[in-house]
Amino acid sequence: MEVVTMDCKKFVEEQISQIKQTVGDATAINALSGGVDSSLVTVLGHRALAEQLKTVFVDNALMRQGEPQRVVNTFADMGIPVELVDAREEFLSALAGLTDPEEKRQAVTNTFYEKVFGRLVRESGAKFLLHGTILTDIEETIAGIKRQHNILAQLGIDPEEAYGYSVLEPLKTLRKDGVREVCEFLELPAEISQRIPFPGPALATRIVGEVTRQRLDTVRAATEIVEEELKDSGAFQYMAVLLNDRATGIRDNKREFGQIIVVRCIESTDARTATATELPWDKLQRICERIINEIEDVNRCLYDLTPKPPATVEYI
Ligand code: XMP
């Protein structure tokens, strides 16, 4: 225990001094998603640079209920100002009409990097970007599992042309468990260090078919119920998914053709493989009842028993 604490202390001190030294009197910018990696970068960056670092949180319309404001408030409570940028329209219009999973993912990525964050970086005049790349991201990039993580290229910035732009990746020697350990060492709130995994393209990965405002409202409401009911389950990850299909039902003696929500809850250590959690039957029944009664137009709720592989965790 002693050793771990010492390592974390050394890591934090070294990174803070490295960031300070590199940035000097200049200014830096970073995007906070609320995930554990970008949260830790934000905390380290602010300890090193204080008001020389501008942190933005981009509301992409795909977040969970109240999430943008909740993340901003969590950081405000730690004395770290975060600018909330409303880019909902840009993301929704980029997603309009798309049903192919890869096209949807690409639209979210491009809108973030090329349009919204790219613009914020240029407008800020910052010459340094702080990014939450971790060792696993680099390994997966090299192995060809992930698209390249060269953030400058993703932002459409040519490092040679835009001489002076630099990216700092203070977490690049850590894996996810190391990131969590440093968060705990820094006594960051559990909602940061213990946050369950949530994908970058957010609720877009939990809507099969087109992402619209209305369909987002449906999956957001179901997500709220599932997260509330399973927060003490100890499971690795849990979610609600909206299918792109309808099923016949009957309510108040009237036939209806309603929407279908899938509940997924998994056991895993690294999300590379996963099995469905054996949830108690009464818990499943309660979730089902709440979903079909509290969400308009949903008349079926299914529990996904599929392991990964062959299924992935997310639905797109
Ligand atoms: P899959 O669906 O690939 O998910 O089995 C494995 C783990 O990764 C998360 N995930 C993502 N995380 N950006 C992320 O930051 C993404 O595009 C993304 N896609 C999936 C997923 O939630 C699960 O924990």
How far lies 91's CA from each of 83, 95, 110, in Å?
A: 18, 6, 9
Residue type, 226: V
pTM, two decimals, is 0.93
Is residue 237 within 6 Å of ligand 1 at its C-beta?
yes
Give pLDDT tens digits for 267-282: 999 898 999 999 999 9
Note the residue count of the chain. 316
**What gap in Å lies between CA 81 and CA 36, rounded to an integer?**
17
Quickly tell me which residue has 């590379």 as its tokens. Answer: 272
Give pLDDT tens digits for 31-58: 999 999 999 999 999 999 999 999 999 9
DSSP 202: G
**What gap in Å lies between CA 184 and CA 179, rounded to an integer?**
9
| Segments of the chain with pLDDT less than 70 | 1-6, 146-149, 159-160, 162-164
Instruction: With beta carbons less than 8 A apart as the criterion, state whether 266 and 308 touch.
Output: yes
- Indicate the top mutation candidate among 146, 176, 205 to test ligand 1's pocket, ranked by most ligand atoms within 8 A of CB: 205
Predicted pLDDT at 74: 97
Is residue 33 within 6 Å of ligand 1 at its C-beta?
no
Predicted pLDDT at 138: 83
* C-alpha 167 to ligand 1 mean position (Å): 24
